Chains A and B, each alone.
Chain A
Amino acid sequence: MKARARAEVGGRHRHRLAHRSFLAGAALSGLVVAMAIVSLVWTPYDHAAQAIVDRLQGPGARHWLGTDHYGRDVLSMIMVGARNTLAVGAAAVGIGAGIGIPLGLLAAARAESWIDHAVGRVVDLTFAFPAILSAILVTALMGPGAVTAILAIGIFNIAVFARVARGAALAVYGREFVRAALALGRSRADVALRHVLPNASSALIVQATIQFAVAILAEAALSYLGLGVQPPQPSWGKMLYDAQTLMFMAPLQAVFPGLAIALAVLGLNLLGDGLRDVLDPRLAQGRAA
């Protein structure tokens, strides 16, 4: 009786934590998305407007987060940078999910067949090229830019989604209602779309949130290296690169873009954790165990 009561209290405690994690993640992610949307219609200043006389100002009433070495408003650049970061992240996750999930479902539907093994080899091959290596290859071919970043991160995401989709789908294929649908003569494609995908979707939604966070980190790294979003479009990674060259004169320049990256990633990770706990309690118990 006592053990049951303790388990119930533990469950409630976990649920409360999951709820908090979800809310904190949703709030942080919502803030970044809101910043990106607002930047479409309003920023405190034109993000590209240069005012050399106002350069390298610290945070103040006129420029809340200060100005950079060209006198551009840092807050405006961070707001527009959020837009670029989210666009690259969303496109990279879209490519990964759009190609990886059908591949994973196909591999699971034909488990242990040559198709499954072929998908496995493609996934292995893709994992040999982390986003930075893919970006180097794509840059050598197409030159640097947002498209390079999207392709490099997207290609890596394909492998991640294919692996997760295959695993989640295999678990669903083992369940009775799927076996019954197959026994009733439903086509494999119909079963995959009507029964397997909806039941594997919670794991995929959580993975999409996590991959979005990974994409933001990768985009920032690529932009820092000059392989991602190109000037005059601002990006958080490029802002950090510029800040590093001014470290002795204006150390605060290196703080705000980095904070923006960390908060965006933290928000998505918390959201992913919270979603996992809400959508798939079994996974949550395993993680907390």
Chain B
Amino acid sequence: MAAYLVRRLASVGVTLIAASLVVFIVLEVLPGDPALVMLGTEATDETLQALRQELGLDRPAAVRYLHWVGGLVTGDLGVSHTYDVPVVGLIADRIVVTVPLAALAMLLAVALALPLGVLAAARRGRPSDYSVMAFSQMGIAVPGFWLGILLILVFSVGLGWFRAGGFPGWEAGMWPALGALVLPAVALALPEAAILARVTRSAVLETLGEDYVRTARAKGLGRRTVLFRHVLRNALIPIVTIMGLQFALLLAGAIVVESVFTLPGLGRLVFQAIGQRDLIVVKDVVVLLAGLVVFINFLVDALYHLIDPRLRREAGP
């Protein structure tokens, strides 16, 4: 298991280095002159030269790349060209919106999907099964950002129960902050719940056919006891895997939903940075998000091996 983890960590390291190289090449090498991209064609030679010096563009690209990666490791992400403040501070302010939003959405998705998936599997072929599958098909087809707009229409514009957008900040108190995240989290959670309910149904059905389940039933254990104590516990392995993979995509989805609800998260930060041509912020946020996706995938993989003894044996000592 330890050897497997080391191998997998090495592979994560290679992917992270490759991801940082891609981001660096796309944003610093391919545009030719990043200073010109940031300031536009109307900038004077003096201001262009000053920015080139500030960005260290007179140095070779390889040196700049190593300097940037060194900064990523030590937490020195440079200074935003637009805000004139350290990028690490900007990211710290925004990540406390994006990550709780994605986590709340995942929590809601799991709370909805697990019971629905188990219900559909336990009542296979009956109306409740078809209803869950229909919900799943519809949920997968509905874009999260459209759902967000519809939720604002109904619950903010129509009923006035929630604010239509914005974020009061965690300093305003936990409940007002969480209240501002409820609708965006629901918009993100429903499509995820649709996928997870389908996976749960399929995993539970597969486990229901296992020999040990038949043995448990033959021993006289009740249907519910078998379902929750034996079936669901074993079906959780593929469900957890998909949950982890979906969490990474949820982070990407949060970027769009933040725009719908004007939440000051990482998504809004990066879109404003694109508009302001602040390549320093774009570079740092994109590599951070890509790194988070890679790291979450690694955690899921490790967890998968930890909870499934068969894979532990295959991975070898």
Report which of B18, B202, B289 forms a contact with A121, defined as CB distance below 8 A. B18
Measured between C-beta atoms, what is the minimum distance from A158 to chain B in Å? 14
Report how far A243 CA is from B209 CA in the complex, Å. 49
Is A146 close to B, CB under 8 A? no
Q: Given contacts A136-B282, A224-B145, are A289 and B206 in contact (CB under 8 A)?
A: yes
Q: Given contacts A140-B274, A262-B138, are A125 and B22 in contact (CB under 8 A)?
A: yes
Q: Is the CB of B271 within 8 A of A225?
A: yes
The contact string, 1 if C-beta is below 8 Å from chain B, for chain A 239-272, is: 0100110011001001100100111011001100
Q: Is the CB of A141 within 8 A of B149?
A: no
Q: Which of A48-56, A66-74, A95-103, A127-135 binds B?
A: A127-135
Report how far A136 CA is from B255 CA in the complex, Å. 11
Q: Is the CB of A225 within 8 A of B15?
A: no
Q: Which of B25-33, B88-96, B105-113, B218-226 binds A?
A: B25-33
Is B279 close to A, CB under 8 A? yes
> Which A residues lie within 8 Å of B228 (CB)?
none
Residue on A nearest B295 in the bound complex, by CB: A128
| Chain B binding surface, main DSSP class | helix
Q: Is the CB of A129 within 8 A of B141?
A: no
Is B143 close to A, CB under 8 A? yes
Measured between C-beta atoms, what is the minimum distance from B199 to chain A in Å? 11
| Chain A binding surface, main DSSP class | helix
> Which A residues lie within 8 Å of B152 (CB)?
244, 247
Is B260 close to A, CB under 8 A? yes
Report how far A270 CA is from B248 CA in the complex, Å. 25
Report how far A255 CA is from B149 CA in the complex, Å. 9
Q: Is the CB of A141 within 8 A of B157?
A: no
Report which of B149, B271, B293 forms a contact with A127, defined as CB distance below 8 A. B293
The contact string, 1 if C-beta is below 8 Å from chain B, for chain A 107-121, is: 000000000000001
The contact string, 1 if C-beta is below 8 Å from chain B, for chain A 213-247, is: 10001001100110000000000000010011001
Q: Is the CB of B202 within 8 A of A289?
A: yes
Q: Is the CB of A128 within 8 A of B19?
A: yes
Is B259 close to A, CB under 8 A? yes
State the interface size on chain B (CB cutoff 8 A): 50
Is B146 close to A, CB under 8 A? yes
Report how far A251 CA is from B150 CA in the complex, Å. 9
Is B79 close to A, CB under 8 A? no
Report how far A287 CA is from B124 CA in the complex, Å. 13
Is B252 close to A, CB under 8 A? yes
Measured between C-beta atoms, what is the minimum distance from B98 to chain A in Å? 13
Is A46 close to B, CB under 8 A? no
Measured between C-beta atoms, what is the minimum distance from A13 to chain B in Å? 8
Measured between C-beta atoms, what is the minimum distance from B23 to chain A in Å? 7
> Which B residues lie within 8 Å of A258 (CB)?
142-143, 146, 149-150
Report how far A258 CA is from B142 CA in the complex, Å. 8
Measured between C-beta atoms, what is the minimum distance from A114 to chain B in Å? 14
> Which A residues lie within 8 Å of B137 (CB)?
266, 269-270
> Which A residues lie within 8 Å of B149 (CB)?
240, 243-244, 247, 254, 258
Report how far A127 CA is from B23 CA in the complex, Å. 14
Q: Is the CB of A127 within 8 A of B297?
A: yes
Measured between C-beta atoms, what is the minimum distance from A99 to chain B in Å? 16
Report which of A137, A221, A225, A248 forms a contact with B26, defined as CB distance below 8 A. A137
Q: Is the CB of A129 within 8 A of B19?
A: yes
> Which A residues lie within 8 Å of B205 (CB)?
288-289
Report how far A4 CA is from B294 CA in the complex, Å. 47
Measured between C-beta atoms, what is the minimum distance from B273 to chain A in Å? 9
Most buried by A among B14, B149, B256, B291: B149
> Which B residues lie within 8 Å of A280 (CB)?
none
Is A8 close to B, CB under 8 A? no
> Which B residues lie within 8 Å of A287 (CB)?
202
Residue on A nearest B278 in the bound complex, by CB: A140
Q: List 14 A-B contacts (CB under 8 A).
A: A13-B125, A125-B15, A127-B297, A128-B19, A128-B291, A133-B286, A140-B27, A141-B30, A224-B259, A225-B256, A248-B157, A269-B137, A288-B205, A289-B209
The 5 A-B pairs of least Cβ separation, nearest first, read: A258-B146, A266-B141, A130-B252, A265-B141, A128-B290
Seen from chain A, the residues whose Cβ lies within 8 Å of a Cβ on chain B are 13, 121, 124-125, 127-133, 136-141, 213, 217, 220-221, 224-225, 240, 243-244, 247-248, 251, 254-255, 258, 261-263, 265-266, 269-270, 287-289
